[in-house]
Amino acid sequence: MDPIELIPLADYAPPAMPTEQAFRALLKRVQRRFGAKDDHDHPLLPSGALVRTPVPVLDDIADPPDCGPILRTLHCNLDNWAAGAMASPRVQLIVVPACDRSGSIESWARSQNHMLLPAPERDDLIHSDGMAATESVDSIGEGLLVIPQLERWFLRQRNGLTMVRTLLARLAASQRRCLIGCDAWAWAYLAKAADASLVLPRPRTFAPFDAARLRAWFAELAVDDGPATTFRLARNGEDVLACDDEGEPCNNWLRLLAARSGGIPWVAWHLWRASLQVRTDDAALSDKAASTVTDDQRTVWVVDTDEFPLPSGHEERALLTLHAILTHGGLSASELDAVLPATGEASVLQALVDSRQLCCDRGNFSVRPTAYPAIRRALEAAGFPLGVS
Amino acid sequence: MATAGEGAKKASKLLNDLQDISFTKIGLILAGTWLVVLIARTLLPYLAERGPSRMRLFLLGGVPIIRLLMLVLAILWVIPIIFNITLQNFLVISGALGVAIGFAFKDYASSVIAGVVAIFERPYRPGDWVRIGDDYGEVRAVGMRALEICTPADDIVHIPHGKLWESNIANSNDGARTLMCVASFYLRPDHDAARVRCALRDVAMTSAYLEYARPVLVMLAETPLGTHYQLKAYPFDMRDQFHFISDLTTRGKLAIAEAGAIETQAIGSVDAAKIGT
């Protein structure tokens, strides 16, 4: 697929949900509110006929990394600028959508051997003025300096903004050329709390992934040395990746996925992998299903994924926790205690991990990409300030 | 001639004949009106509490409007069934009503009329936080005669709409989803005010409840009690206002101590309002 564009942050508009699906989703939420159970009705296949796709197969048909097209975009848009010693602008800010677990800006910088300014330890954010950590911003260097994760330079705590303010002040005074990456939720906060938008006035972000882009990407990923794979909707057998002459998907499933993921490629990729299922060995196909898959070399079934509810009775605390984690791009339990109001309530962290909203990697809690759409919607409904993309 | 006399006689009749009045119809109209109002009073607050936060005030505000519309509709429907409406009869009924209201139901009628005015002028709506006289709280319901507010102490206070004619009504959010919260601190005057101001500003900027789109202000003034700091900021949801103020106060005290300032002892007997704060 062709690389996408970098666009001004203000122009970012997530793909819209198709009208019919929007009504269906609303109806489903109302039914769930009144206690109705979701029915996963797959008329084509008997109940229990599908199981999760094994990881090796998934890695064949939807292989990592989840940021492949983004890396291509960065190469296409930034390589020339990074190579030109006098190229304008001197400082570029790229606002990265939430849940970028691969560290796309850092991966690109490493691949180009650019100098990276590592983020300080979070403990140092409280006790240091940041002068030492930001020295290399002032140093005269020929090459580009990359600050891949601005969200790691602050802690939303009384003394936790000093370091990022020092960094921004040095960036404003320096002559060094810099590329800065910042999470969309952190940017919304820093623009308010540290006036970051005054120092970095023209943020850009990646164009949203619409259905056509997702189709091109997933079709590209599905090509491997094995048999050709056909992705069929479990509910009606339609080929999800089938498209018309203009490359637009023939059915609405990918439009729904694009809208649900907010146009964020890695969120869409994780949801895509989570929705892929294969038939169990002993599951028989109905006549209709058999006729549908006659010409397929390999069929992978696409199902709708579940959304997990917030811990009952602790919704407010859960949302405060999720919002803090999104704002910082991940936090440890002790850091979370430092940034949340001390209300004496029990921590909901474990409940959020159990309900598959959060994942924990070496003590650092972050939002699962598959849970992000539901979490964003819940935060929006509760009135929380949201990320900028 | 007979027909004209009959017409005059008929016109002078105030009430319709008993056999012409359909009590079943009246009963159905009243029951239907009561049912619609009941559904609106139950369903809209239910949806408001469970739906998106941005829709809450809109849904709550619909209750008094629906009730007023239904009552007006019911009255306009029932009156012609009972009364023989002519200009003469209209004047008779108006006169009788005027006397009855003037003597017996003056205050009640005043409050009902003020309630109708309140629906259109909207000095308060369900969900708003208002101060009327000494009472401050969230408007829970706007009835025909009175509004019901729930105070921070969880008391329910009924205030007649008639207060609209005679007292000021302070509405803290006026239909918005947020309102300004103020955390107060009194410090001994010998301190670095610039440092304290910066520290308090960061206290608000780092609150988990902060609404990004609204300003954060730190104001100070010298008073007989010491230097009075007011930290003013907005939570993203006004229902968090007391959590927000508590959070600002808790962390503000730490920030003040860290900035080398000392809080003065709170003097409960001093009425701060009387000494110019």
Choose the closest CB to B53 out of A159, A161, A383. A383
Q: How far is B275 from chain A (nearest CA, A)?
A: 32
Contact list in A for residue B179 (CB cut-off 8 A) is none
Angle at which helix A253-260 crosses helix A265-275, to 10 degrees, equals 130
Return the percentage of chain A with pLDDT > 70, whole number.
Answer: 88
The pLDDT of residue A270 is: 94
A92 and A178 Cβ atoms separated by less than 8 Å: yes
pLDDT beyond 70 at A377: yes
pLDDT beyond 70 at B267: no
Contact list in B for residue A188 (CB cut-off 8 A) is 212
pLDDT beyond 70 at B273: no
Q: Provide the whole-model pTM.
A: 0.83
Task: For the beta carbon of residue B193, count every other beta carbon within 10 angstroms.
Answer: 15
pLDDT beyond 70 at A269: yes
What does the DSSP assignment read for A172-217? Answer: HH----EEEEEEHHHHHHHHHHS-HHHHS---EEEPP--HHHHHHH
Closest-CA residue of chain B to A323 = B208
pLDDT beyond 60 at A235: yes
Distance CA(B251)–CA(B232), nearest Å, equals: 14
Whether residue B236 and residue A385 make contact (CB cut-off 8 A), yes or no, is yes
Quick: pLDDT tens for A43-61.
677 667 788 888 888 888 8
Choose the closest CB to B203 out of A158, A188, A323. A158
Q: How far is A156 from chain B (nearest CA, A)?
A: 5
Contact list in B for residue A385 (CB cut-off 8 A) is 210-213, 236
pLDDT beyond 50 at B276: no
pLDDT beyond 70 at B248: yes
Task: For the beta carbon of residue A385, count every other beta carbon within 10 angstroms.
Answer: 18
pLDDT beyond 50 at B277: no
Whether residue A33 and residue B209 make contact (CB cut-off 8 A), yes or no, is no
Contact list in B for residue A381 (CB cut-off 8 A) is 51-54
Interface of chain A against chain B, CB under 8 Å?
A: 33, 156-161, 188-189, 191-193, 320, 323-324, 339-343, 380-385
Tokens of A22: 């929007």
Choose the closest CB to A339 out of B208, B211, B250. B208
- Distance between alpha carbon B235 and the CA centroid of its chain, in Å? 20
Tokens of A272: 């895509």
Distance CA(A283)–CA(A49), nearest Å, equals: 5
The pLDDT of residue A271 is: 94
Whether residue B243 and residue A382 make contact (CB cut-off 8 A), yes or no, is no
Quick: pLDDT tens for B3-51.
545 555 555 577 777 777 888 889 999 999 999 999 988 888 888 877 7
pLDDT beyond 60 at B227: yes
Q: Given pLDDT bands bounded at 50, 70 and 90, which one contains residue B274?
A: very low
Q: Which of B105, B142, B136, B140 is nearest to B120 (CA)?
A: B142
The pLDDT of residue A34 is: 62
Q: Given pLDDT bands bounded at 50, 70 and 90, which one contains residue B1?
A: very low
Contact list in B for residue A341 (CB cut-off 8 A) is 207-209, 243, 246-247, 250
Whether residue A161 and residue B206 make contact (CB cut-off 8 A), yes or no, is yes
- For residues A385 and B51, the model is more confident at A385
Return the percentage of chain B with pLDDT > 70, whole number.
Answer: 90
Picking from B202, B239, B242 by the largest number of A CB atoms within 10 A of its own CB, the best residue to mutate is B202
Which of A70-74, A134-138, A141-145, B256-260 is modeled with the greatest confidence? Answer: B256-260
Q: Which of residues 161 through 200 in chain B touch A, CB cutoff 8 A?
A: 177, 199
Tokens of A121: 């330890």
The pLDDT of residue B9 is: 57
Closest-CA residue of chain A to B177 = A383
Whether residue B236 and residue A341 make contact (CB cut-off 8 A), yes or no, is no
CA quadruple A93, A94, A95, A98: dihedral sign? negative
Lowest mean pLDDT among A184-188, B117-121, B196-200: B117-121
